[in-house]
Amino acid sequence: MKNLSWMKTWVLGLLLTLVAGPALANQLERIRISHSPEKTRVVLDMSGKPSFSAFRLTGPDRLVVDLKTTKLKAKLTALEKSSPLIRRIRTSNPQGDGDLRLVLDLTQSASHKTQVLGASPQGYHRLVLDLVPTSRNPSTVAASPGRNVVIGIDAGHGGKDPGSIGPSGTYEKDVVLPIAQKLKAKIDATPGFEAFLVREGDYFVSLDQRSAKARKKKADLLVSIHADAFTSPQPRGASVWVLSLRRANSEMGRWLERDDKLSELRGIGEVISQSSQDDPHLQRTFLDLARENSMMESQALASSMLKQMGQVTRLHKSKPQFASLAVLKSPDFPSLLVETGFISNPHEERQLRDPGHQRKMANALSVAIQNHFRSNPPRDSLLAQRQTHKVQRGESLSVIARRYQVSVPALKQANQLKSDTVRIGQELVIPTL
Ligand SMILES: [Zn+2]
């Protein structure tokens, strides 16, 4: 009997929690955005007084707003393109249960101010976020020319580890290295980019060393090149793998346990030591957001790689695949693993050995990588400093070239123009190299 009454109390307690829970939660009812040349104002209309914290992160620029015990009612998708300063607004893993974390992905650096206004005529409590774009000082830009985007290229296996072996005896390690070398040559030949090979010859490199090397070289991306294999000869086609969330979570735990190791993480170490010192929650937050960013970038890049590779080879999977692979585990920069085809398939084994096919594959990967970083340039990179010019009435290519002190051929090349004609309103990239 005693047990039963304990049970009753427990069930009652549970019911009370269930009933009381939602009633206490604040609600984010709607978000309004207004934009002027001076600033962008984001107003969060809340059902109750907000309890919040807001902080900014760089690389990429973001404003993060943590709202205590808050439910999201507002539609975020409707907000796209309401300010040129905001790329999008999304939710992210909140710090605590029932909390809401909003992430405003910004298109450029901005300072922020917050204020809470009392109930509006409609009864909303308003959290006002003002974002003011911080213009880059042109003289500092001139003083520090942007850096190259660094691509780490990792040819899988090597040395005592041959990888998979094809039906006519081809080793995976021997076909992925020339693809990696050709990709490096392509990247190196592109202004604003540079690449390095994690393995430059036929020797063994451990998986841990591979991502550590990329971190040491301050890579913006690590691409691991492999060839697939199966027990039967039929399966064929390429695929691209990114880190699964579960593995990402366990890796995060490992990084957080190793305080001495945290500072090795790119970018994150800096932010953590500046703003949080010994606060483990903030460290977790920064690491969380950095990892999330790497994963989003990896997935976006994986999709565009598949699109490009699909033009030169068959695809095994047309969507990015998720796996718990050691070489993908870095939380601080995006990493991808490309299976260039099935070496166990006789046709693809032949293809993978063919230098012409290897070149096509390297080309496809290079195009995807370049496109990705051109639309998401790291803030301190040369690509981020790129200027654009909108063609006005009466302007010719030579007029524009003179104005920016570049040559007409350089201007044509940067914009892949085949003729000298430009149309009014056309946006031209001004080459910085
Ligand atoms: Zn492999």
Give the end of a domain, one of 94, 110, 134: 134
Q: Are residues 288 and 316 in the same domain?
A: yes
> Does 313 or 77 have the greater pLDDT score?
313
Last residue of a domain, one of 78, 101, 134: 134
Structural domain span for residue 123: 25-134
157 C-alpha to ligand 1 centroid (Å): 6
Residue 19 located in a structural domain: no
What's the mean pLDDT in 93-103? 85
Spatial separation of the C-alpha atoms in residues 191 and 317, rounded to whole Å: 32
pLDDT band, residue 268 (cuts 50/70/90)? low
Among 72, 103, 134, which residue terminates a domain? 134
Cα of 166 vs centre of ligand 1, distance in Å, is 12
Q: Is residue 243 part of a domain?
A: yes
Distance, CA 228 to ligand 1 centroid (Å)? 6
Instruction: Read off the pLDDT of residues 287-341 as tens digits, 9 standing for 90 and up.
Output: 777 778 888 889 999 999 999 999 999 999 999 988 877 777 777 888 999 999 9
Number of domains in the chain: 3
Please identify which residue in the block is written with the tokens 């950095």. 290
pLDDT bin (cut points 50, 70, 90) of residue 407 is: confident
pLDDT exceeds 90 at position 96: no
Dist. CA 385 → ligand 1 center (Å): 37
pLDDT at 404 (0 to 100): 76
Mean pLDDT on 224-249: 88
Any idea what the CATH number is for the domain that residue 349 is in?
3.40.630.40
Q: Is there a single domain that holds both residue 245 and residue 128?
A: no
pLDDT of residue 383 exceeding 90: no
With respect to residue 12, please indicate whether it lies within any of the assigned structural domains.
no
Residue 107 within a domain: yes
- The per-residue pLDDT of the chain, averaged, comes to 83
Q: What is the pLDDT of residue 1?
A: 43
pLDDT at residue 140, as a whole number = 42
CA 238 / ligand 1 centre spacing (Å): 12
What is the pLDDT averaged over residues 112-125?
87
Between 218 and 9, the higher pLDDT residue: 218
166 and 284 together in one domain: yes
**d(CA 186, ligand 1 centre) in Å:** 22
Of the ranges 151-160, 383-392, 403-412, 419-428, the best mean pLDDT one:
151-160
My answer on whether 167 and 274 are in the same domain is yes
Say yes or no: 354 and 421 in one domain: no
324 plus 249 within the same structural domain: yes
- Distance of CA 371 from the midpoint of ligand 1 (Å): 26
Highest mean pLDDT (candidates 44-48, 112-116, 325-329, 425-429) = 44-48
Residues 129 and 218 in one domain: no
148-181 per-position pLDDT tens digit? 999 999 999 999 999 999 999 999 999 999 999 9
Ligand 1 center to residue 319 CA distance, Å? 19
pLDDT at 55 over 70: yes
66 in the same domain as 178: no
| 330 located within any domain | yes
- The phi, psi pair for 243, rounded to 5°, reads -70, 135
pLDDT category at 37 given cuts 50, 70, 90 is: confident
Q: Which residues have beta carbons under 5 A from ligand 1 (an ion)?
A: 156, 163, 226
Rounded to an integer, the average pLDDT of 371-376 is: 87
Q: Which pLDDT score, from 0 to 100, does residue 190 have? A: 87
For CA atoms 315, 211, 195, 405, the dihedral sign is positive
pLDDT > 90 in the chain, percent: 42
Let me know: does 31 contact 74? Beta carbons within 8 Å.
Answer: yes
Cα of 339 from ligand 1 centre, angstroms: 8
Q: Which residue has the higher pLDDT, 259 or 342?
A: 342
pLDDT at 279: 57
Does 5 map to a domain?
no
How many angstroms separate the alpha carbon of residue 334 from the centre of ligand 1?
Answer: 19
Let me know whether 354 and 394 are in one domain: no
Evaluate whether residue 6 is within a structural domain.
no
Would you say residue 229 lies in a domain? Answer: yes
pLDDT higher than threshold 50 for residue 211: yes
Which CATH number characterizes residue 416's domain? 3.10.350.10
- On the question of pLDDT at 398 being above 80, the answer is yes
Q: Would you say residue 13 has pLDDT above 50?
A: no
- Asked whether residue 10 carries a pLDDT value surpassing 60, the answer given is no
90 and 117 housed in the same domain: yes
Residue 81 and residue 175 in one domain: no
Same domain, 266 and 188: yes
pLDDT at 433 over 60: no
* Ligand 1 centroid, distance to 154 Cα (angstroms): 11
